[in-house]
Amino acid sequence: MAVDPEIPTHAARASAAMAGDTLDVSLAGDWQVTALRPAWLEVVGDRQPAEVRLRAAELGSWDTSLLLFVFAAQEWCRKENVRCDTDALPEKVRRLLGQLTSSHETSVPVDRSENFLTTVGLATQDVGRKARDISNFVGECVLSASRLVRHPKKFRWRDCLEEMQQCGAMALPIVSLVSLLVGVTLAYTGAIVLRQYGGDIYIADLIGLSMVREMGAVMTAVVLAGRTGAAFAATLGNMKANEEIDALEVLGIPAVQFLVLPRLLALGVMMPLLSLYANALGICGGLIVAYGLLSIPGTAFWAEMLTIVDLSDIATGVIKAAAFGQIIGLAGCLRGLQAERSASGVGRAATSAVVTALLLIIVADAIFAVLFNALGL
């Protein structure tokens, strides 16, 4: 005879019958938490017994499913003020039922709520603590750097070169693409306005000045904040989780000297270089648009650009780039060293490093704008 696979042959069953004032409930079949089981309210129906007696009859394999059913019966009995007799159930079931009952009674949710004032107070304290951490970290970096100036042999030159390769040479493709496209976009946007006034040639001034003074450094910084800053935070965070930072401390080797300074120097050198490279690529992007869209010859573009871009403009861009590099390095390393000792902690540190770096870069850029304006640069 064919067996319908939809209907289990040993499904959980609970049959109830009244014997005087007592409701006799027989439990049979296999009770599996992954399969369907009878519901207590359906079993009891609208009967009003004075006592409920649960017993196992032809009970097969069972798991938590049976416990949940018996527990529901007990709870119903408690609410209806009806005596519940489970003595006829297997001893293991009764023991586990006891555990379930006690865990149910003791599992009071922990109140983690805080009132508004506490939240504001804690957040204020946190801001103060973070500001202190940043100033301590910057101070520690300056002291370590001054020590290394006196003892240059202690500096990890090899690590620094490796970091230079990572944050400099390896970043060239993405910096090239971003800078070229920024130049192209600026040129297209500028061309729309300048053509209306017949000032096509001034596209060279717009591209040259904006790339050299602003966009070269800022766009390189944005790319490196996402690429290098996050990598620094993740590396240092992972080292912290693996107790590698503790191992340095126990040896009396400051983590700042060993891990942070090589990275800061690498960024301090590579950021200005990458920024100059980004300037060149951005100008090339603008030149392509000027030649293709506005039919301005390359020599004319170059000659016009040189009438407005001078060394002081290039210097301002380079100074900004160096400062942005230090911001990215400091944010990445600080967040990495502050990371919690877990996988999610490392992830949060990387995210926080990028956000911190971008925020500080924008703040620093605004400060530079005011400063250079005041100095007449």
Partner 1 sequence: MIDSVSTPALAAPAIEVNGLSAGYDGRVVLKDVSFSVRPGEIFFIIGGSGCGKSTLLRHMVGLNPPLSGTVRFLGRPFSQADAKARRELLKTFGMLFQNGALWSSLTLRQNVALPLEEYTTLSPREIDEIASLKLGQVGLSGFGDYYPSEISGGMRKRAGLARALALDPDIVFFDEPSAGLDPVTSRKLDELIRQVRDTFGTTIVVVSHELASIFDLADRVIMLDREQQGIIAEGPPRELAANSRDPRVSEFLHRGDKLA
CB of 92 to partner 1, least distance (A): 25
Of 109 and 252, the one with the shorter C-beta distance to partner 1 is 252
CB of 139 to partner 1, least distance (A): 14
Of 85 and 159, the one with the shorter C-beta distance to partner 1 is 159
Of 51 and 244, the one with the shorter C-beta distance to partner 1 is 244
Is there binding between residue 159 and partner 1 (CB under 8 A)? yes
3-class secondary-structure state, position 56? strand
Cα–Cα distances in angstroms (integers) from residue 224 to residues 26, 85, 335, in the given order: 71, 71, 16
Is there binding between residue 154 and partner 1 (CB under 8 A)? yes
> How does 320-349 read in b/e, with b if 16+ C-beta sit within 10 Å?
bbbbbbbbbbbbbbbbbbbbeeeeebbbbb
Q: Are 141 and 256 in contact (CB under 8 A)?
A: yes
CB of 37 to partner 1, least distance (A): 37
Tracing tokens 């007799």 back to the chain, one arrives at 85
Is there binding between residue 3 and partner 1 (CB under 8 A)? no
CB of 151 to partner 1, least distance (A): 11
**Rounded-to-integer distance, Cα 182 and Cα 48, Å:** 80
CB of 271 to partner 1, least distance (A): 22
Of 32 and 238, the one with the shorter C-beta distance to partner 1 is 238
> How does 85-116 read in b/e, with b if 16+ C-beta sit within 10 Å?
ebeebeeebeebbeebeeeeeeeeeeeeeeee
Of 204 and 230, the one with the shorter C-beta distance to partner 1 is 230
Of 246 and 310, the one with the shorter C-beta distance to partner 1 is 246
User: Could you give the strand order of the β-sheet that contains 22-31, starting from the edge strand earlier in sequence?
Assistant: 13-19, 22-31, 51-62, 83-88
Window 225-254: contact mask with partner 1 (x via CB under 8 A): --------------x--xxx-xxxxxxxx-
What are the structure tokens assigned to 325, written together? Answer: 């590099």
CB of 244 to partner 1, least distance (A): 5
Is there binding between residue 177 and partner 1 (CB under 8 A)? no
**Rounded-to-integer distance, Cα 311 and Cα 343, Å:** 47
Q: Binders of partner 1 among 54-113, rule CB under 8 A?
A: none
CB of 234 to partner 1, least distance (A): 13
Is there binding between residue 114 and partner 1 (CB under 8 A)? no
Per rule CB under 8 A, count of chain residues that contact partner 1: 14
Which positions touch partner 1 (CB under 8 A)?
154, 159, 239, 242-244, 246-253
